[in-house]
Structure 1
Amino acid sequence: MIKTTNAGPHLRILAVCWEGGGNVPPTLAAVRALAARGHEVRLIADDTMSAEAIEAGARFLPWKRAPNRPDRSDESCFLRDWESADPVACFQRACARIFVGPAQCYAEDILEALATEPADILLGSDLLFGSMLAGEIAKLPTALLASNISLWPLPGHPPFGPGFQPARSASDRAREAEASAMAEQAWDGFLPRLNAARAHFGLAPLAHVHEQRLSAGRHLPATSRSFDFPAEHLPDSVRYVGPLLEMPSWAHDRWTSQPEREMRPLVLVSFSTTNQGQADVLQRVISGLAGEPVEVVLTLGKALEGLRLQAAANVTVLSNAAHDDILTKARAVVTHGGHGTIMRSLHHGVPLVILPMGRDQNDNAARVDYHGAGLRLDHSVHQIIIGEAVRRVLSERCFAERAMALGRAVAKEGPGPERIAAEIEDFVLKSSQSALSST
């Protein structure tokens, strides 16, 4: 790990983001950390992030040609996970509408911002291929922020998506190879769109979509090396920076315990800040815990605050609550497996029951399972099984011990905001040295 003290020269940084829910807080945390080090940061993003970006210390620029959400309502959402239970269909929609399809539009907006005001580095997104493309066109040092685990498998890791554990047998390796081939085929379904964008800017075509990421000089997963699967070796371009746990701006509700219930174990239930069609699974969680001797706090988040659920007597529903206050007393967390919720839980040493619903959640759950810090269930399981899983996590001490040990290991690596700022400074310095040596 590089040192995180003594910031280098003042940098001009252009950062990018898109409104996808869980990717927003890590980007804002990175912006805040860089601005606190005295760097000049511009953030080009959806209008939903305008006030948050300014509060974090950035100058805000809106997407003009690229997709731009004016608010966080369901109506403005481009991904619309709740419309399909098929993860492949959800992935294809995300690629078409955000990741790859509008690459030219994202690149044009970024290049316009760079033409208006130069930058020393582009902090792109591992999911916005237009940001990778813009960095390549501008010949600008480009780092890609992954808001959680790496989208692209590291050496010895299973492919992203299915939630596999690391391979231990020939059959496991064959399964991984098949899944990797399917993933590459799915990405390459959008290769014509990406190559059309490249041709527009006079760049040569690629053989595969994933080759576009190679144009970036740094890949910065905002997760912990201790949390991730062990890697055989890491490419020099990949640098773990640790969790970036920015509190959402809307999380203002406070939970206060009721004296008559304080003797019961507290269970936090949280299923994303965005709509993934969680109503059914949330109701089953409530019903599964209704007969248990526990106190339940269920937080909804901005996109779900209007959700109508049939609450049990031992359940408190909060629309827009901060988790840290609750986690100081919680004994277990039931969640969809979003990276931020998992990392906050581990920070407090709280074990988890995870019911993944898509996106990165299967893979996050696989890592929790791997470390023994919780249990993974299919999100369609019966409410009785949910209750049994929570009972087991509460009664078997090993889960809490492993969650606490993992939380300590993550904390020992150092604070994410300081680490990402140091990595950005180091990358720009080495890029400048490399440019000088080649002239």
Structure 2
Amino acid sequence: MTGDDSPHHPHGTPPRRYLFALIDAGGTVPPELGVARRLVDRGHEVTVLADETLAEAVRRTGAAYLPRATAPSGTFRDWNLTPLALARTMADHMMVGPAPDQAADTLMAIDAVQPDLVVASSLAVGAMVAAEVRGVPFDLLIPNVYPFPAEGMPPFGAGLAPARGPFGPLRDRIFSTAGVRLFDRYALPGINTLRSEYSLAPIPTTWAQMRFARRHLILTSRSFDFPARMPENARYVGPILDDPAWAATQPWIPPAGDEPLVLVAMSSTFQNHVGCMQKIVDALSSLPVRAVVTTGPAVPTNAISAPAHVSVVSSAPHGEVLRQAALVVTHGGHGTVVKTLAAGVPLLVLPHGRDQSDNAVRVTTRGAGIALSRRAGAPRMARAATTILTRPIYREAAERLGKAIAHDAEHNGLIEELEQVQ
């Protein structure tokens, strides 16, 4: 169905029908729903198939909400895992485990909505299979740096800078081959079993499933990611800088005083990070700064002990805080990192897992901050924060990179790419 029977559309493009099939992976949700909201604002018909945990956030976008028939299984415990254990956990919890139910749910949704395009989270394998079965094109939303194998791109999850010297390409080939084999070991059999159940041909590697997508829509700035030879269907379409639905919207009052303001913004999902947050607060307690710590929905505010010049709140409008901030201390989630840089603020990054080491190395190689282990002690964190606050080169580097990120957030081809569906 094309929706071409509508006589008028304010932007000159006929209204389309879009079905979003999303995974609740915490920090990926605000940018993905930001895409849905932008399509709604353009006059398109958008339905979002997602877990009950996202129901209210979906409705706030103006899109129609369609609940999954099955609930997600447990917490994704992805902190302090070896690469082997992380690959298996991701396969079991995010890719293969939910795929059969997700495929069945998406098939029913496709039949009900009759979309022109399915827009899926990047690991929503079941939704991809369902779209393929029904012959509906699908796009993947990638709200982070490019995660799939690409020539010249450091292997995803390794926290590596671009390879240099004569042995650089060999390093990337070794890591990339190992990564492909690792995911194929845990994910490929389950994916091919699902494909067989729907009479689809088997695929040779896990990542081949993603290659069936019409577009890989990379929701970051090309200037933030490392350069690489990208697949033909990959598009950098700029970051979505929307705050999450749970963030505070009331006016924000900064702590009193003239000292530099530090924002501490950690994961919105539980990553066993309470101890790390407490060490950050202990570090800031010894410095001449004002600080605001946003715990998010995963950590109660009373779990953190803080002195008078450190305010601990469940949430705050980060956009407003960043306009006054001199430093952000974070786990390194993509959303927090690009919002911080777009505001021209340097970072102290303490990666906990997922793509956070990859984001950290993109910050440090540009000189826009410092990265430490999450196991670092409070004195070391205090020294790093002091270095960033007292050396203007960090702020200057963040401002340079931030200008490009902010430009790409405002001037991008996201909606045009989504509207170019036949």
The normalised TM-score by structure 2 is 0.93
User: 1:88/1:7 Cα in 2 relative to 1: closer, same or farther (>3 Å)?
Assistant: farther
User: 1:385/1:98 Cα in 2 relative to 1: closer, same or farther (>3 Å)?
Assistant: same
Q: 1:78 aligns with which of 75, 80, 84?
A: 75
| Matched residue, 1:17 | 22
Q: 1:400 aligns with which of 370, 391, 395?
A: 395
SS of 2:180's equivalent in the other structure is helix
Q: Is the 8 A contact 1:156 1:166 kept in 2?
A: yes
Q: 1:390 aligns with which of 385, 395, 401?
A: 385
Q: 2:34 aligns with which of 29, 32, 42?
A: 29
Q: 1:50 aligns with which of 44, 47, 55?
A: 55
| Matched residue, 2:197 | 200
CA displacement at 1:77 relative to structure 2: 4.1
The letter for the 2-side match of 1:207 is P
SS of 1:413's equivalent in the other structure is helix
CA displacement at 1:197 relative to structure 2: 0.2
Unaligned runs of 5+ in 1: 70-75, 433-439
- Taking the aligned partners of 1:419 and 1:22, their CA distance within structure 2 comes to 22
Q: 2:348 aligns with which of 332, 347, 353?
A: 353
CA displacement at 1:355 relative to structure 2: 0.7
The within-5 A match list for 1:319-398 is: 319-398=314-393
Indicate whether 1:40 and 2:45 are aligned. yes
User: 1:77/1:87 Cα in 2 relative to 1: closer, same or farther (>3 Å)?
Assistant: farther
Q: 1:209 aligns with which of 206, 226, 230?
A: 206
Any idea what the Cα deviations from partners look like across 1:176-204, whole Å, max 9, x if unmatched? 22321221122112211111101100111
- Taking the aligned partners of 1:228 and 1:375, their CA distance within structure 2 comes to 17
Count of aligned pairs = 411
Indicate whether 1:222 and 2:227 are aligned. no
| Matched residue, 1:92 | 88
Indicate whether 1:283 and 2:288 are aligned. no
Segment of structure 1 superposing worse, 133-142 or 267-276: 133-142
- Taking the aligned partners of 1:320 and 1:177, their CA distance within structure 2 comes to 42
CA displacement at 1:87 relative to structure 2: 5.1
Indicate whether 1:423 and 2:417 are aligned. yes
User: 1:87/1:316 Cα in 2 relative to 1: closer, same or farther (>3 Å)?
Assistant: farther
User: 1:176/1:234 Cα in 2 relative to 1: closer, same or farther (>3 Å)?
Assistant: closer
- Taking the aligned partners of 1:238 and 1:44, their CA distance within structure 2 comes to 24
Any idea what the Cα deviations from partners look like across 1:289-324, whole Å, max 9, x if unmatched? 211111111110011135512213321101122211
| Matched residue, 1:161 | 157
User: 1:7/1:341 Cα in 2 relative to 1: closer, same or farther (>3 Å)?
Assistant: farther
SS of 1:371's equivalent in the other structure is coil
CA displacement at 1:410 relative to structure 2: 1.5
The letter for the 1-side match of 2:202 is P
| Matched residue, 1:437 | none
| Matched residue, 2:3 | none
The letter for the 2-side match of 1:221 is I
CA displacement at 1:278 relative to structure 2: 0.5
| Matched residue, 1:234 | 230
The letter for the 2-side match of 1:206 is I
Q: Is the 8 A contact 1:81 1:275 kept in 2?
A: no
Q: Is the 8 A contact 1:354 1:375 kept in 2?
A: yes
Indicate whether 1:270 and 2:275 are aligned. no
Indicate whether 1:130 and 2:135 are aligned. no
| Matched residue, 1:186 | 182
User: 1:78/1:257 Cα in 2 relative to 1: closer, same or farther (>3 Å)?
Assistant: closer
CA displacement at 1:90 relative to structure 2: 3.7
The letter for the 2-side match of 1:372 is G
User: 1:283/1:415 Cα in 2 relative to 1: closer, same or farther (>3 Å)?
Assistant: same
| Matched residue, 2:300 | 305
The letter for the 2-side match of 1:378 is S
Any idea what the Cα deviations from partners look like across 1:246-269, whole Å, max 9, x if unmatched? 22122116542243x2x2111111
Any idea what the Cα deviations from partners look like across 1:381-400, whole Å, max 9, x if unmatched? 12111111111111111110
- Taking the aligned partners of 1:420 and 1:105, their CA distance within structure 2 comes to 29
- Taking the aligned partners of 1:186 and 1:205, their CA distance within structure 2 comes to 18
Q: Is the 8 A contact 2:293 2:313 kept in 1?
A: yes
The letter for the 1-side match of 2:113 is E
Unaligned runs of 5+ in 2: 1-9
| Matched residue, 1:148 | 144
Q: Is the 8 A contact 1:28 1:246 kept in 2?
A: no
Q: Is the 8 A contact 2:301 2:312 kept in 1?
A: no
The normalised TM-score by structure 1 is 0.89
| Matched residue, 1:62 | 67
SS of 1:209's equivalent in the other structure is coil
CA displacement at 1:413 relative to structure 2: 2.6
The letter for the 2-side match of 1:112 is M
Q: Is the 8 A contact 1:354 1:376 kept in 2?
A: yes
Instruction: Please identify which structure carries the higher helix content.
Output: 1
Any idea what the Cα deviations from partners look like across 1:81-124, whole Å, max 9, x if unmatched? 35x54454244222102212222221111111111231101111
CA displacement at 1:271 relative to structure 2: 0.8
- Taking the aligned partners of 1:7 and 1:40, their CA distance within structure 2 comes to 15
Indicate whether 1:101 and 2:97 are aligned. yes
> RMSD of the TM alignment (CA)?
1.8
Segment of structure 1 superposing worse, 348-357 or 87-96: 87-96
